[in-house]
Structure 1
Amino acid sequence: MTRLEAPVLTVEADAVRVETRLLAGEIECPDCGSVLAPWGWARRRVLRDATTVVRLRPWRARCSGCGGSHVLLPVFVLVRRVDLADVIGAALVAKASGRGARSIAVGLGRPVDTVRGWLRRFERRAEYVRVYFTVLLVETGVDPIPPAVAATPFAAAVSAVVGAWRSALSRWPDVGKVSPWQTAAAVSRGRLLSPTWP
């Protein structure tokens, strides 16, 4: 497995809480359920929020059971993306509502090619995303309501992501502390726009 393909575990945004939980042995390996322990740091990242720069150096943890290592990415980060999940999510919502890549790029202050890349990647995976998040919506909701029929597969996938977030919110009110796109990042282990997930 190459460095770029390192297994990722999505954790909360609060770096101090993540460190406290990691040092206390309270984070489980997603592969085998054993305890993860600190194992250094992943590479430093400079990420972009809507208007600011976010500097990040995620923990790397090693499993005491299976020996696997995991990069602990905060819930607001997608793998191999410079822009935060909410910025990319805003672009996806805009596209689902009928806007084009150029106007989305101008609105977000991002290069058109970058925005087109997000939209194309999501569009290629739209049916898979729609099915995955619709199942999640039904399985997590107290009284789940499937998303309404959408005009395009792209819009249906976006609607399923937001619907799954609302469904999870009905069961676990603390989910409201994170956005639909942070929830999608967590569910996909940061790989929402990756060719293979989960």
Structure 2
Amino acid sequence: MSLVRRADTAEVVGAGLELAAAGWGCRRIAGRLGRPVTTVRGWLRCWSRRAVRATAVFTAWLVALADDPAAVLPAPAGTAVADAVSAVTGFAFAARARLGKLKVPTWLLVSAACHGRLLAPGWPPA
């Protein structure tokens, strides 16, 4: 599944966001993923602008899905970008636990949850 206004799949963009959360820069991420530096820079700028709101949205969804939210709430990861990625992966974990044998990759599940709008203008809603 692709993200709205993005040529790359949710899995490719998500991999880039995970690498950024781990401290990688856009040139290194671009090299690893085989994408243009300008493309990766665009993802990271967009994600950085919405990281705090995305953290709030995915954390709320995680809490709504988890049987024991305290057991799966991610600890602060050190940066807003890393916190948002942690919230996303926590949400995916809670969704899989709630829905049983769901074998959907994390970033595909995330894309479906936000209707492909993860990096689209106006998401998450204010």
Question: TM (normalized to structure 2)?
Answer: 0.93
- CA shift, 1:194, in A, is 0.9
- CA shift, 1:170, in A, is 1.1
Report the counterpart of residue 149 of structure 1 in structure 2. Answer: 76
Q: Paired residues, what number?
A: 122
Partners of 1:123 and 1:183 in 2: CA distance: 21
Offset from partner CA, 1:113-132 (integer Å, 9 cap, x none) = 00000010011000010000
**Root mean square deviation of aligned Cα:** 1.0
Query: Which of the residues 50, 74, 89 maps onto 1:125?
Result: 50
Does residue 197 of structure 1 match 2:123? yes
- CA shift, 1:191, in A, is 0.3
Report the counterpart of residue 168 of structure 1 in structure 2. Answer: 95
- Partner letter of residue 179 of structure 1? P
Higher Rg: 1
* Percent identical residues: 50
Partners of 2:6 and 2:101 in 1: CA distance: 26
Partners of 2:100 and 2:86 in 1: CA distance: 20
Partners of 2:119 and 2:100 in 1: CA distance: 26
Partners of 1:147 and 1:133 in 2: CA distance: 11
More strand by share: 1
- Partner letter of residue 116 of structure 1? R
- CA shift, 1:196, in A, is 1.1
- Partner letter of residue 21 of structure 2? A
Query: Which of the residues 31, 41, 61 maps onto 1:106?
Result: 31
Partners of 1:148 and 1:116 in 2: CA distance: 26
More helix by share: 2
- Partner letter of residue 91 of structure 2? A
Long gaps (5+) in structure 2:
none
Give the 5 Å matches for 1:25-174: 76-144=1-69, 145-174=72-101
Long gaps (5+) in structure 1:
1-75
Offset from partner CA, 1:18-63 (integer Å, 9 cap, x none) = xxxxxxxxxxxxxxxxxxxxxxxxxxxxxxxxxxxxxxxxxxxxxx
- Partner letter of residue 184 of structure 1? V
Report the counterpart of residue 104 of structure 2 in structure 1. Answer: 178
